Each structure stands twice: as C-alpha cells, then as structure tokens.
Structure 1
C-alpha cells in the first residue's frame, strides 16, 4: 500500500506554502496532491490558489515525490489548454505528475464562468468526451477533433510528456460510464466512498460500498479485456462515515488502512492538517502516520 497526502492551496507560497510541500516530501509521502478548484466549500471566502501554478512551484522545490491533482474536472477546464499546461508541468517536474480527473459536481466551479450548472447526465456527457480527447492530446503531436462539447484544430503538443506515452490518469468514478472511462484510460481509479453514506452511514456500510465499487470496476475492465489489477485503487479519506478518524491516532490509521487494504485499496490519501477547518488534526499525529503508518500496517 502507498500513503499520500492532499495539500489544499490555502497558504501563500512565502508564508508556509512552500514548506508544506517540502515537508510532505521529507516525510516520505508517495504523492502530494492538491484540489483543482476555483474555490471550494468552506474556503470560498478565504485564500485559495490555482492548482497548476501551485504544482509547478512544488515541482521546482521537490525532487522525489510525485505530484498531482485530486481532481481536475471539465467544469472550467478545456482539454486543449489543460494538455498544454500538463505537458509543461510534467517537464518541470521531471516526469512526476499524475492527473486525478473526475466529472465534477455542482459546486462553485460549475457556475463561475457564467454557465448554468450541468445535470448529472450532462456532466457525464462532457466527461465522456473530455477524457478520451485529453488522452489523445497528451499522446500525439497534433490532434484535430470535432465533438459535441469539445473541439481541437491541429492542436500541437510537442514534445509531449516526459512520461510515455503520457502522464498517468487517476480517474474518479463510481457510476457505470465513469468506470468504463477508468477501465479504458486510467492507470488508477479514485473513490471517496459512497457520498450517500457520509452523514448517516456506518464505517461497515461504507466499506461494503467501496467493495462493490471495486467489483464494478473489475467488471468494466473485464468487458474490454483488461486486468483490473493493472489499476491502482486510491481512497481519498475524509468523506466516508469515518471522517477524521484515520488521523486521530497511529492505531486508528493502521486499523482504517488495513481494513481498506483488505478490500483492494492500494493507496490511502490523507489531508494535511488545516487549523479551524474540517481538516483540523494534530500535526504530530499526522507526521507519525506518515513516517510509521505503513510500517505498522505491514507489521
């Protein structure tokens, strides 16, 4: 199992932002992700920086740890411009970028450009075009495409990604259409559990739901002749009924991670603590989990 973290872009670079990314690498996290939003939930009226510039800065000050978004969505992104940014970011990082990508939701990003929020079907329709086109843009030197929602006219992406044939996709999906995209285009799959269980569900119900999601992912892979074992299975914590329990103590983390490892999860992602927020946690416990958590789990 791998252990990764999410660093929300809520600190100025010169006022603790830079140090957070360096600390994550020094603590030994496999990947440090950030959210790709224009603003997000309780942080809407507070500091919030852009994901791509933040990751570029992080790439310049780190050297070993992988970096990525968790997740990018079509809500305010276009595949052509996103591909150019990602190729640049992959180059700056020396090939350490993973793109977490999902269909998006109906939060602030959904209307920030003046558009009406998409229905779930419309989000799935956009996502169904977005992912295959982005795959091509990151894999081919020149792409022309005319779709229902997106177009590309001789879009050039030379020299392409450092990682070949392109940087990896971690596709967030739970519905049948999204799981098919993960099976066909993903190098990893991302879940936050079942959102319907967050408020009133139990940890046991949540694990059953995640197990069911993995089974459906396996069926989607089998349908196209792919081995589901080829995909990493990533759990972003904080959105299951366990909520902040994995960061309460080292023992709590080991118990949580072990139960999900048994389901087939191969990477656990925990949020770097943020005071006075839903992600408040003891910094010392966070560091202990980073340095000892996987060893305790293996033992």
Structure 2
C-alpha cells in the first residue's frame, strides 16, 4: 500500500483542535485530559483511526493532552495514523501572527510536536499555510532531512493551490500525500469554482480553480476541514437559507435512517475526488453521530446531492 493509499483509506479523520481546554497559554489539567480521552474513545468507537493535529491548536495543548492519553494507553499508537501541521506562528514577544516555513522553524516545530505527542515519529506532517517568504529549496531540504532521520514518514500541505504544491513537489523525492482545504456544504467554493467558469460570478469564489483536479491527477489525497459546517445545518442556523437547508438535511437523514451529521459528511464523500472529511467537534455524542459516515459508503443519489447543493446555495445554477 502506498503512502497516499494509507492516508486515503481513512473515511474520516478526527480533528483534535477542540482538545486541551481554552485557547490560552494556561496549563491544561486532569479534566482536559479526561475530556480528550472521551473524545478519542468516541472516535475510535465509530471506526476512526486517523487523528489530525496542528502545533498551534490550543497553544500546543491539543497535542499535549493527546500525548497524555497515549501515555495512558501506549498500545494505541500502533493502531492510529497521527498527523500534525506546522507553519503558523501565533503572535508572541518576537512578532505578530505569521506564517513560517523556514527549514529551521519546521524542524523545531516537529521536535516540539513529537515531545508533546509522546511519540517518536509523525505519520504525516502538513505545511499548514503558504509562507510567501519561504525558500522552497530550504523548506524541501528540511522535509527531506526529517524523513531521513525517521522523524516524519510522509508529507502534505494545507490550504495550498495547485501551483504552490507543484513548486514544492518538484524539490522532493517523496510524493506529497495530502492537501487539507476547507470543504463542506457551507463552504462550497471547491465545487463552485469549476461550475462558474465563464460566468460573472467566477472570480468571487476565492478558490483556485484546478486545485482539486491537480490533486486528483497527482494522487494527492484531499482532506476537508470544517466538514460539519460548525453546526450551521445541524442546530446553529442563522439565515433563512440555512434553516431551509437544515430542514432538508434532517428530512433526508430520516429517510436514510441516519443522522444529519452523516448527511453532511456523505455530501462531501459523494464527490468523485474521494475527499476525506475531518470532523472537529470535541463532543462525544456528536462524534458518535458520524458513525454511518465512517462505516457506510455515501448513500446519496445524483439528484439528492444536487438538491442539497442547491438548497445551501440558495440560488439556481447558472
């Protein structure tokens, strides 16, 4: 099995951004570790074995509490895929919030993540955001060194367009295995960019046309962050269009004998690009509500998929 296949075999990934307590530099406590363990257990219970992190989540506390859970159950490490990201630096005494893909910073970030996660290897390292000041040769050299040292098995990117990925890939011997993007029924630019070609609305999507196609053509697995739409179609509706869509999602879930969360994830997974949703809720009950998305192939017809899209879109296709 290739590295890309190993990443893609996960129907869902669990996003650990909600673990670790508050978004501050205060220490985490036993309750935060217990909450993390409950969320991780819920994910494992529904068949999720891929866990997505970033060095900045909760100022590093998300990785740290995950590491505490691994310390409680060391046998778990061999059963899971552990993915983290680097490249975003939060505002601190040395500067403002910024992106940093300099080689020395990548290596430092990986070493710190390994320590917090209490593991000796990261399965997949994603570069979190493009850094316009990064030298791609320097970045690639750091990634190659990390792999040769056995500290990182595979690499990918996040929030990058096709040309940015190609520039990095040209300097690497190993294939990039993933690109993580915001993709959901609420954030549909990844779909709309392709169908709005040759229309006045095409420039408004903000999504780099050709990125999904590039990843598919080059065997780069697509991962969808924000896949549950932050509850906008499952209880946190703010607009008439969102309320109508939420009703549509709920009705479809009832017909299919599943949950609204599953419908949202099936909508993403139904796309032929083979997108892997990342679910980020820290609530065990909501994690378990995604069970059918982890265990069943998407059961949406061509027409049902379009009905959901048009409902969330609020207007007809061009």
Question: Shorter-chain TM-score: what band?
Answer: 0.5 to 0.7
Aligned residue runs from structure 1 range 1-299, under 5 A: 2-7=11-16, 8-11=18-21, 12=28, 14-15=30-31, 16-37=35-56, 48-60=59-71, 61=73, 62-63=76-77, 64-69=79-84, 71-73=85-87, 75=89, 78-85=105-112, 93=119, 97-103=123-129, 123-126=131-134, 128=136, 131-140=139-148, 157=149, 160-161=150-151, 166-181=152-167, 183-184=169-170, 186-193=176-183, 205=189, 207-209=191-193, 215-216=210-211, 218-219=213-214, 227-229=217-219, 231-237=220-226, 242-245=229-232, 250-261=258-269, 262-273=271-282, 283-289=284-290, 291-299=291-299
RCO comparison, higher one (Cα < 8 Å, 6+) = 2
Q: Does structure 1 conserve the Cα–Cα contact (< 8 Å) formed by 2:13 and 2:278?
A: yes
Deviation at 1:298, TM superposition (A): 4.2
Describe the shift of the 1:35–1:88 C-alpha distance in structure 2 as closer, same or farther (beyond 3 A).
Answer: closer
Which of structures 1 and 2 has the bigger CA Rg?
2
Deviations 1:130-164 (A, max 9, x none): 63133122133xxxxxxxxxxxxxxxx4xx23xxx
Deviation at 1:263, TM superposition (A): 4.5
Specify every segment of 5 or more residues in structure 1 that has no aligned partner in the other structure, as ranges.
Answer: 40-47, 105-122, 141-156, 195-200, 222-226, 275-282
> How many corresponding residue pairs?
226
TM-score by length of 1: 0.59
Deviations 1:207-252 (A, max 9, x none): 324897583354488xxxxx522x211011259xx44246666543
TM-score by length of 2: 0.56
Describe the shift of the 1:176–1:215 C-alpha distance in structure 2 as closer, same or farther (beyond 3 A).
Answer: closer
User: For the aligned residues, what is the CA RMSD?
Assistant: 3.8
